[in-house]
Amino acid sequence: MAYGDRRLLRACCGLLLGGLVATGCSDGGDEGKRPDGGKGKGSTSASAAPTTAAPTAAPTPTALDFVPDPKRAPRNEADARRIALAVVAGPDAWGPDYVKRTPHLSGPTYWPVLGKDCAWGTGVRPSTVLYSVTAYSEIPAEGARGTLRVAATVTVHRSESDADWEMAGTLEEALRCPDQKLRDGERISQLISLGNPFGVGGNFTATDSLGERGLYLADGVKGDQFYGWYQSRIGQVTVATVVKGAPGYSEEETSTTVGTVTGQVQALVTMIERAKDELEVQS
């Protein structure tokens, strides 16, 4: 379990980069997204309206190796909080160079919302979300390399359908706002997001997945950096990792830069496996 399976990791990696790169969208940039390492997104604007689809709706996964145990499904905030904290990726999941930022975890009510003006602001967590937490990590600046900031987010929804709508909502954000203001002095632009339900585009690790890439522009950081937000869904839980580029880093390693995608995928897959462990029938 954990992220032990290298094949899985590679597949996932190919998915993330391959998907977007190959589809050609990226080129210009990498992606970026919400404030601070993002967060599960709430509803984007008004209405990512979760329909009242019965929680029974378990549409997609045909072959995903995941059998949720109804008895273990989180039903309230306390359940969800326990699961979210057990799943969310800390620096160890990212790699040996990563350390916690301070504060390491978002507050219990943290719920950013992308406003009509394409700027992220604080919002109120919708009732369809039982709990959400973001864990911030970084590789401190060293020499020519800047501070690489990353984050991992886990959002536990009331139902699988609600989680499904969150995935759609994330895709919608990049369509609606290809350029977003994370906070003063920090922007992401040229966002392109691509979804890959299970079995599509090489996704064999999660019920659904998406990648969003673009450019990351921050005051005080030289040049356009990359931005990448990858999000997967396992049942009623979504997990996401975000990397905001910094000098000396690139998504894939080069002779002069340190690659970030391996750590990002590792953190994502770690959370996927942890989420399965939390939700699956225990043998």
Partner 1 sequence: MSPTPPEPEQQPERQSEQQPEPEQQPERQSEPEQQPERQSEPEQQPEQPEQPSGPRQSEQPSGPQQSGRRLPDPRQPAPRLDEPPSRPDPRQPAPRPEPQQPATETAPATETAPATETAPATETAPAVDAAPPAGAQPAPEPRAEAPAAPASPAPAGPPRPPRPEPGALQPLLPSDPSALAGYRLLGRLGAGGMGVVYLGRTGNGELAAVKVTHADQADQPDFRARFRREVEAARRVVSPWAVPVTGADPDAPEPWMATAFVPGPSLGEAVVAHGALPERSVRVLGGAVARALAAVHAAGLVHRDVKPGNVLLAVDGPRLIDFGIARATGETALTATDMVVGTPGFLAPEQAEARTDAIGPAADVFALGCLLAYAATGRPPFGTGAVDALMYRTVHDEPDLGGVPDGLLALLRACLAKDPAARPTAEDVAAGLVEDAPSGGADWLPAPVVRTIAERSARMLALPEIDATTAGTTPEGPAKPGRRSFLLLASGVAALAVGGGVAAWAGFGDDGDDGKLGNKPVPPRTTWKIGVLADLSGPAKEIGLAQERGARLAVERFNARKDKPFTLELKVADDRGDRATALATARRLTTDPGVLAVLGPTSDGVAQTVLSAFEEAGLPLITVSAGYNLLTVRDKESAPNATVLRAIPHHPFAGMHLAYAVTLLSGIRRPGVLQERTDDQYSWLLVRGAQFAFGQAGLTPHFRVVPASARDYRSILGEMIDAGMDAYVHCGVRQTAVLAARALNELRFTGPRFAGQHVFGQAFLKEAGADAEGWFLGAPVLDAVTRKEAAGFVAAHRKRFGAAPAYYSGESYDVVTMAMAELARRAKSGGPTRKGLWAALRKGKYTGVMGGYTFDEAGDLTNGGTFVHAVQNGAYKVIGPAPVAPANKAKQKA
- For partner 1, the binding residues (CB under 8 A) are 21-29, 46-47, 49, 51-53, 57, 59-60, 161, 164-165, 167-169, 171-172, 175-176, 178, 190, 192, 194-197, 200-201
Between residues 155 and 266, which has the closer beta carbon with respect to partner 1?
155
Q: How far is the CB of 20 from partner 1 (least distance, A)?
A: 10
Residues 6+ apart with CB under 8 A from 39: 106, 110, 111, 112, 132, 134, 151, 153
Q: How far is the CB of 189 from partner 1 (least distance, A)?
A: 9
Q: How far is the CB of 59 from partner 1 (least distance, A)?
A: 4
Is the omega angle on the peptide bond into residue 103 within 30 degrees of 0, that is, cis? yes
Q: How far is the CB of 196 from partner 1 (least distance, A)?
A: 7
Q: What are the backbone angles phi and psi of residue 122, rounded to the nearest 5°?
A: -80, 145
β-pairing, 148-157 vs 208-218, is unpaired
- Give SS3 for 241: strand
Between residues 52 and 76, which has the closer beta carbon with respect to partner 1?
52
Between residues 37 and 195, which has the closer beta carbon with respect to partner 1?
195
Q: CA-CA distance, 78 to 244, in Å (whole number)?
A: 31
Between residues 175 and 281, which has the closer beta carbon with respect to partner 1?
175
Between residues 99 and 168, which has the closer beta carbon with respect to partner 1?
168
Q: CA-CA distance, 52 to 273, in Å (whole number)?
A: 28
Q: How far is the CB of 265 from partner 1 (least distance, A)?
A: 19
Helices (H), the chain: 6-13, 77-87, 91-94, 160-176, 261-279
